[in-house]
Structure 1
Amino acid sequence: MRIAFWDVGLTRNGPGLLLKEIIEKDADDIAAARDHILYVAPDILLIAGFDTDFDGYTAKAFADFLDAGFTYTFSTVGNVGIPSGFDLDRDGRFGEQEDAWAYGDFRGQGGLALLSKMPIMTDDVQTFTDLLWADAPQSRFPYDYFTPDESRLHPLSSNGHWVVPIRWGDTRLDLLAFKAATPVFDGPEDRNGRRNADEIALWRHYLDGKLSVGPSSPFVIMGNANLDPVDGEGLHGEIIALLNHKDIQDPLPASDHGARMSNPLHHGDPRRDTADWRDPNPGNLRVDYVLPSADLSIVQSALAWVEGDHSALFSHAMVWVDIAPLP
């Protein structure tokens, strides 16, 4: 079975606009995204950077537009665009994008959506999107920056943390989906860097039984960690700890595209970079991951970049991994 993650970047300037364009079928980036998805042909696809809604209409419309057998969809809105009521960036102005619980103009902007050819066990979905940052295990919450009122309300998750069970033949497969905050655009308090690290760490704590629930079946962690193991900003040790966790396999997907676009100032293997950003900073980075549990067999993996005339429309590669049950 082929499992893929793609930060597709299909966002618009207001709620409902992406749904409208999907229905109208005349936007170049939507059509190019469809062509790339059909080319890679995943059985399960998690997309990020995709405007979602409370009822899942946009995800369902996109699945119908793809016409690729994605019978099952799941999406929710995360904490992006939710007004906090506070001046979180301390610039003297309230109600800006920076003052939302996660940066954004409206709820659901740049969210997550799951498309699957396998049945989604919707009644068994678990989310940690409402977990308070200060309540997370080993939290790095910056109490010296946020007020007591802010600390009592500030969520950890930005776009969402989901555990979505899939019925895979006779097996239940849990998809651990997320997109973490970017570890930049803050000050010496490093609130975004700390939040990014704690969003990644949440899955390690989940695997180690430090949350109210834990893994009970084979799983795949998938999403945009917004953190490279070596290069760029952020607390690199947190993604390294996740990649080296005893219950996880890193398939190390690669592509020649990254080698062609490599940044000579970076130390990581450019073939494994998944985001093509401006040079020299932040440059190309490995930030997108599909990480099967150790009790699954990895058949093959790769990074699939959009090539040709539409390559400039997308800054991320699709990460895909073929998995099978252990013999």
Structure 2
Amino acid sequence: MPSIFSRRRALAVAAAAGLGLPAAAHAEPNPAYRGGPFENLRVATFNVSLNRPEEGELLRDLESGQDEQVRAVAEVIQINNPDVILLNEFDHDEDGAGIELFRRNYLEVGQNGRTPVYYPYAFSAPVNTGVPSELDLDGDGTVGGPGDAWGFGEFPGQYGMVVFSRHPILTEQVRTFQKLRWADMPSNLLPTEFYSAEAAAALRLSSKSHWDVPVQIGTATLHVLAAHPTPPSFDGPEKRNQRRNSDEIRLWADYLSPGRRSQWIVDDAGTRGGLAPSEPFVVLGDYNSDPVDGDSWPGAIDQLLHHPRIRDTKPTSAGAVEAAELQGGANAEHTGEARYDTADFADDAPGNLRVDYVLPAKELQVASSAVYWPEQGTPGGELTGEDPFPTSDHRLVRADLQITP
């Protein structure tokens, strides 16, 4: 069941209720944009690379308040000051202690003189990474280990996710899709010749999870659609990870399509169907898929970028252009424009790619969008840097939206 936590203390949630009691603390509105007969909202996604090789290690780093990587991640968030943010690769723990420690010891402490940020609401839930399947999913002839988990991981919760918000999260309306089976998707790309019949029938679609997290913005409700599909690599000629990545992306494309196309989707509570056409939303996350470069299944991310309900704001940065020019290599062969890149994979074959997305509904007004990737030698450049990265090999991506009551 999902877990919700208050700002002042981590709250273990009763499994039947799934409810928390958020403190009534609110940060100042984002100063970058104000006014008008609407609610201004800055939304962001950030793969923070706060995953650790051992269970409990991240909690120790968060408890210290002195971990340099976590401090740098918090500073990036403080600089960008989003109202709602999805963090990918934040190791999940069942009682929510990591969320509270990150807030209290890092976000609510000014890093290098930055203004602290306060998020009275947060949402996290279990993910498939590291959860044993008791099946031979990687085809090595044995059962056990990260390759045989429902999602690749050394322990349950590795590479987890969390949503932070200044606005109330409607916890009773949250939908999670952790246990949805891949085989239940019509016309799926599941490589049945690779998996045993038992594994093919049981394998879950989401490598982490998919969440529909409704956030109350004034009198309106915005659905935050959060996910982190598997990288389309680390497989063999069967291309099982490429295929899974594409179908994980397709889950949201179907979810946003009314009628029969979304009727196959069943959430973890047993409710069937997708998002109503009248509901505003924003798709957030590291989708591990570039529209033109890299190793994705053909057209994978286009399922969202070209969806009739989605607006692609195409955020850019000067730092991405600079990095591609300095690093060369695979970047020189790319078809896509470097200014759209959101991740620095220069030392790997794909080169730098656009894989992190903030994709609002078309009916939402977009004031601006950006990728936080400063050029070297400019303020903030020390927080992105070069490998080994001070924060993450991914960059924060944000959009400023106007929500009509």
Please give the TM-score of this superposition, normalised by the length of structure 1.
Answer: 0.96
Q: Is the aligned partner of 1:321 residue 2:373?
A: no
**Contact preservation (8 Å) 2:315, 2:371:** yes
Is the contact made by 1:227 and 1:236 (CA closer than 8 Å) also made in structure 2?
Answer: no
Deviations 1:157-208 (A, max 9, x none): 0111000000100001100000000111111111111100000000110011
Secondary structure of the structure 2 residue equivalent to 1:316? coil
CA contact (8 A) 2:316 2:341 kept: yes
Name which of 306, 319, 338 aligns with 1:270. 338
Q: Among all aligned residue pairs of Structure 1 and Structure 2, give the percentage whose two residues are the same amino acid.
A: 40
Matched residue, 2:364: 296
**What CA distance in whole angstroms lies between the structure 2 residues aligned with 1:81 and 1:125?**
23
Q: Which residue does 1:308 correspond to in 2?
A: 382
Name the SS for the 2:193 alignment partner.
coil
Q: Which has the higher Rg, Structure 1 or Structure 2?
A: 2
Residue 283 (structure 2) pairs with residue 250 (structure 1): no
Cα distance in 2 for residues equivalent to 1:280 and 1:185: 12
Superposed CA deviations along residues 59-108 of structure 1, whole A, max 9, x for unmatched, are 23212331211000111121000112222222234312112111110111
Q: Secondary structure at the match of 1:238?
A: coil
1:91 to 140, 157, 181: 140
Could you tell me which of 57, 60, 69 is aligned with 2:118? 69
Note closer, same or farther for the CA distance 1:158–1:280 as it changes in structure 2 (3 Å cut).
closer
Structure 1 window deviating more from structure 2 (148-157 vs 219-228): it is: 148-157
Contact persistence 2:291–2:354 (CA under 8 A): yes
Matched, 1:221 2:299: no
Structure 2 residue 44 is the aligned partner of structure 1 residue 4 = yes
Q: Aligned letter for 1:20?
A: R
Pairwise mapping of residues 80-229 of structure 1 onto structure 2 (< 5 A)?
Answer: 80-209=129-258, 210=262, 211=265, 212-216=272-276, 217-229=279-291
The one-letter code sitting in structure 2 at the alignment partner of 1:235 is W
What is the alpha-carbon distance in structure 2 between the residues aligned to residue 280 and residue 150 of structure 1? 31
Aligned residues: 327
**Partner of 2:401: helix, strand, or coil?**
strand
* Correspondence 1:57 to 2:97: yes
Give 2:355's match in structure 1, choosing from 268, 274, 287. Answer: 287
* Conserved? CA contact 2:91–2:158, under 8 Å: yes
Runs of 4+ in structure 1 over 4 Å off = none
Query: 2:136·2:199 contact (CA, 8 Å) conserved in 1?
Result: no
Give the secondary structure class of the aligned counterpart of 1:55.
coil
Deviations 1:216-263 (A, max 9, x none): 310000111100000000113121121011100011000011111221
Contact 1:86 1:150 in 2 (8 A): yes
User: Relative to structure 1, is the Cα distance of residues 236 and 257 closer, same or farther in structure 2, using a 3 angstrom cutoff?
Assistant: farther
CA–CA distance in structure 1, aligned partners of residues 291 and 384 of structure 2: 29
Higher fraction of strand: 1
